[in-house]
Structure 1
Amino acid sequence: MSDATNVQAGRADWLREAKTTLILAWPLIAAQLAQIGLGTTDVIMMSWLGPEYLAAGTLSTSIMFLFLIFGIGIATAVSPLMAQAVGREDYRSVRRTVRQGFWVAILFATILVPFILQIEWIFKVLGQDPALGKLADSYIQFAAFQFYPFLMFTVLRGFLSAHEDTTVVLIATLIGIVVNAIGNYALMFGNFGFPRLELAGAGISTIIVHSVTFLFGLGYVLTREKYRHYQLLLRFWKPDWQRFFEIIRVGTPIGFMLTAEVGLFSVAAVMMGWLSTLELAAHAVAIQLASISFMVPLGLSQATTIRVGLQYGRKNQAGIGIAGWTSIALGTGFMAITCTLFILFPNMFVSLFIDASKPENLEVFALAASYLAVAGLFQLVDGAQAMAAASLRGLSDTKVPMYGAIFGYWLMGLPIAYYLGFQTELRGVGVWLGLAGGLAIVAVILNWRFALREKLGLVDFSSQAKGNTA
């Protein structure tokens, strides 16, 4: 059934879908905002230590997240697989997916952490200031081990979302914010009788936060009566290689796609470091604000994958179109609001992070405000690409979107950013314009693919149990 036919399904169906999606999504959105609150807390407290600590922290988290996002992509594969299984009422498949999702999370954490621990050497290769590299290393040597609890909690989040039980995700994340603030205050600055560890203290606090969050979520799932029949950890060590490799097959393209996007932003941070430490510090503030606004469509996208996956599992072609386009409209509509605010009031937002009354902050403040104004321009396309990608994931369509992301971000966006940043007078603003260009190209590719999903053979109910990565 085409989207033209879907439009005739009736306003009531679209409004019902919007309501259902928002009910499912709001705790995930709030949890994403709370999650970014963890990073925001770190940015604010690092800035209290000084600009060089803020710059070092930005570099380390940018590089680390580049690795982490790949693991998140792999673990995210459990969401469409479980949603499709719930739609088919195949609950045994749900149990298999959760268990092997944990296996995959542990495996990739074990592979990725050793690379992260070489961060100081990586910075040298990238031509960064050795002093900044040494500071960043003090954070990474502890924070890298957050990969284990973080990725395993991602699997739990997919399980809970597939059962439309997302409030606990929000509660767990809010607990994490409190633990993070207390941990940073104690360990970074030497309060409550603890030693002053500065960035190393922030790294230790990060491990504690994600461990607490995961254990809270796991305890909830194991003790709730409605989930006990799954017996999720029974015979946990028994391999299920078919499901294990299915998660990797579906998740690996998601990981590469997310890494392509985050990698572009990480390289942008490196470029800012080449320009100057002040421009890197300004970039840290602007990207933090842009990231906060993106948490709404990101949380909504998690619900989108579940809604589309459920309709796919139920073999409901019309429902797939309604679920996908409703979410794309909601996500893009929200970003239209943040676009307007960033363009009209950049100084107001930057002042939340930087005190413009201090003369030494004036240059960083002005740079951050100029970057944020440009960030407003890509808010619309950023929301559109995120929602379209989530809709395609609900169909287990991950391989071609990965190619589209690599093309848009790395073959188009990155060269534009480098040329405008270093071959013109635009400098940092030029780098940000390159980011916007890459996002716009990917948004067009992914929305076009979702619009043509039936013609492209993406809605193949006969093969849904195995997934479709055409």
Structure 2
Amino acid sequence: MHGNTLLFRIFAVPLSFIQKQKGMSYQFSKYETHYRNLTYLGVPIIIGQLGNLILNFADTLMIGHHSTEELAAAAFVNNMFTLVIIFAIGFTYAVTALVGTLYGQEKTYRIGELMKSAVAANTCMAVFLSVIMTALYLNVHRLGQPEELLPLIRPYFLIQLVSLPFVCWFNTFRQFTDGITDTKVAMWILVSGNVMNIFGNWILIYGHLGIPEMGLIGAGLSTMISRIVMAIVMAGVFFFGRKYREYRKGWRLGHTNRTDFRQITVLGLPLALQMGMEAAAFSLSSLMVGWFGTVSLAAHQVMLTISQLGYMIYYGLAAAVAVRISNFMGQRDYMAVRRTATAGIHLVFLLALSTSVPVFLCRHIIGGLFTDNADVISMVSMTIVPFMIYQFGDGMQCNYANALRGIAVVRPLTWIAFIAFFVVSLPLGYFFGVVMDYRLLGVWYAFPFGLTTAGLLYYVYYQKGLKRIESSTEKR
């Protein structure tokens, strides 16, 4: 609680100062409660999101110091799995919106009953994604990657595949706890899981405590074990935690039903597609970068890890926006919905500034945290500039995509993401990187165009969607 209070004060002071100096039309007092509540709710989510980043960060850091070839192989596999994992997480976000609305209406029994269908729906999604990734594994040699990396890619790919269902189950129960505003549970489990992962990396990658040195395979095994343990603990909290007794009544006495299953699927698929297409803009760009060689691919992986720092922070706070908005939607308090979204974008922009400036100032040395290869370090320092440019577009699209999720208006997310990332970002990446021959730098300069397009369109459709809901409520 003390940490959250400190962060609120850090956010509140510059915002209050800006208001006084610039004479902004809004009054700080209108948003003060929302700043505070979003901070209290969002900080544990941010820490949990950073926990996901630490899994990849630890692997990248420790593998990079083991060998550049293993770093490049990890880059390819991790980017392919990042795509499907983010798709799966997006699907689980339907649980947050539905649980959050029911929580605002104080329907604990219905929440427990809904969770039965949520687990069933996300298990089906895990099976579906596992089949797709198995097919990709069987054709990995056709994807144009350096031939010398294939013996490293194949076993690491299989280990990641085993852990995929556990990621789906963990996030299903995580969205339940987030939806009822108990965000600290997932935070502590993720922090503990990542400590386990880092310790496992130290043992298995480098060969300590009598275990043989396993390199990239050891990193994969450590990540897999930590994901399995986290999923088991998260489910155990739901089934055995004292504070969730009332929700378990709904689970025990309720039924998996077609209505809940369909509602989760109808709401979850657009969210999954939106997040999946955004991830594809980065993950599929790895295929293009792979054409430029091992050094470019290694630098690309380092930059993806760095860029995830901002994304995870913004999306953590934006997830709190979705939770708060869904709670207010259950209460039909639309003024609070609007103020929550506005307070969210204020805080996200503040976080964007505080995240990107230190990265820019350290651009010439930050690559050295991951590898000793001078060419990779130099390439990373140049790619920091487009990274800086797209931070505010990234923050905007995170905030308003989650605002749309909170009001359960998710259909526009799919086609907006398609335009932003498949019509704008990826083609521009090919044009700048391949046609104009700017290579890795060209691919990264395409990202600001896609992310800013997404942010502006999400904002427009959030405003339209909320006005439509308000109008339909007034007519009743």
Structure 2 distance, partners of 1:48, 1:340, is: 26
Structure 1 distance, partners of 2:380, 2:249, is: 47
CA apart distance, 1:312:
0.6
Unpaired segments ≥5 residues, structure 1: 1-6, 356-360, 465-470
**AA at the equivalent of 1:435:** F
Contact kept in structure 2, 1:119 and 1:140, CA below 8 Å: no
Which of 61, 68, 74 in structure 1 is aligned with 2:78?
A: 61
**AA at the equivalent of 1:432:** W
Contact kept in structure 1, 2:109 and 2:250, CA below 8 Å: no
The 5 Å alignment of 1:25-424 reads: 25-231=42-248, 234-235=251-252, 238-355=255-372, 361-424=373-436
Structure 1 distance, partners of 2:67, 2:194, is: 22
1:323-356 CA deviation, whole Å, 9 max, x = no partner? 111112211221123333333431132232234x
Aligned length: 453
Contact kept in structure 2, 1:350 and 1:365, CA below 8 Å: yes
Contact kept in structure 1, 2:112 and 2:251, CA below 8 Å: no
Q: Secondary structure at the match of 2:210?
A: coil
Structure 1 distance, partners of 2:48, 2:181, is: 14
CA change 1:432–1:460 in 2 (3 A) is: farther
Which shifted more, 312-321 or 209-218? 209-218
Structure 2 distance, partners of 1:460, 1:227, is: 35
**AA at the equivalent of 1:394:** G
Structure 1 distance, partners of 2:121, 2:277, is: 21
**AA at the equivalent of 1:299:** G
**AA at the equivalent of 2:388:** G
1:39-78 CA deviation, whole Å, 9 max, x = no partner? 1110012112211100000100111121222211111110
Structure 1 distance, partners of 2:54, 2:466, is: 40
CA change 1:235–1:420 in 2 (3 A) is: same
Structure 1 distance, partners of 2:192, 2:250, is: 24
CA change 1:276–1:92 in 2 (3 A) is: same
Q: Percent identity?
A: 24
Structure 2 distance, partners of 1:283, 1:399, is: 32
Contact kept in structure 1, 2:113 and 2:251, CA below 8 Å: no
Structure 2 distance, partners of 1:182, 1:117, is: 29
2:451 corresponds in structure 1 to 439
Considering fraction of residues, name the structure with more helix: 2
**AA at the equivalent of 1:53:** E
Structure 1 distance, partners of 2:357, 2:460, is: 26
CA change 1:189–1:115 in 2 (3 A) is: farther
Contact kept in structure 2, 1:120 and 1:133, CA below 8 Å: no
**AA at the equivalent of 2:71:** L
Contact kept in structure 2, 1:282 and 1:368, CA below 8 Å: yes
Structure 2 distance, partners of 1:112, 1:249, is: 17
1:374-397 CA deviation, whole Å, 9 max, x = no partner? 211101100110011001100111
1:381-415 CA deviation, whole Å, 9 max, x = no partner? 00110011001100111111211011111011111
CA apart distance, 1:214:
1.9
**AA at the equivalent of 1:44:** L
Unpaired segments ≥5 residues, structure 2: 1-23
Which shifted more, 181-190 or 281-290? 181-190
- Aligned CA RMSD, in angstroms, stands at 2.3
Structure 2 distance, partners of 1:457, 1:61, is: 40
Structure 1 distance, partners of 2:253, 2:127, is: 18
CA apart distance, 1:462:
9.3
1:3 corresponds in structure 2 to none
Contact kept in structure 1, 2:116 and 2:251, CA below 8 Å: no
1:139-172 CA deviation, whole Å, 9 max, x = no partner? 1211212222211111211111122211121110
Structure 1 distance, partners of 2:475, 2:101, is: 12
Contact kept in structure 2, 1:145 and 1:207, CA below 8 Å: yes
Q: Secondary structure at the match of 1:275?
A: coil
Contact kept in structure 2, 1:342 and 1:373, CA below 8 Å: no
Structure 1 distance, partners of 2:65, 2:386, is: 27
**AA at the equivalent of 2:178:** S
**AA at the equivalent of 1:368:** V
Structure 1 distance, partners of 2:258, 2:430, is: 44
Which shifted more, 119-128 or 306-315? 119-128
Structure 1 distance, partners of 2:475, 2:133, is: 38
CA apart distance, 1:286:
1.3
Which shifted more, 39-48 or 111-120? 111-120
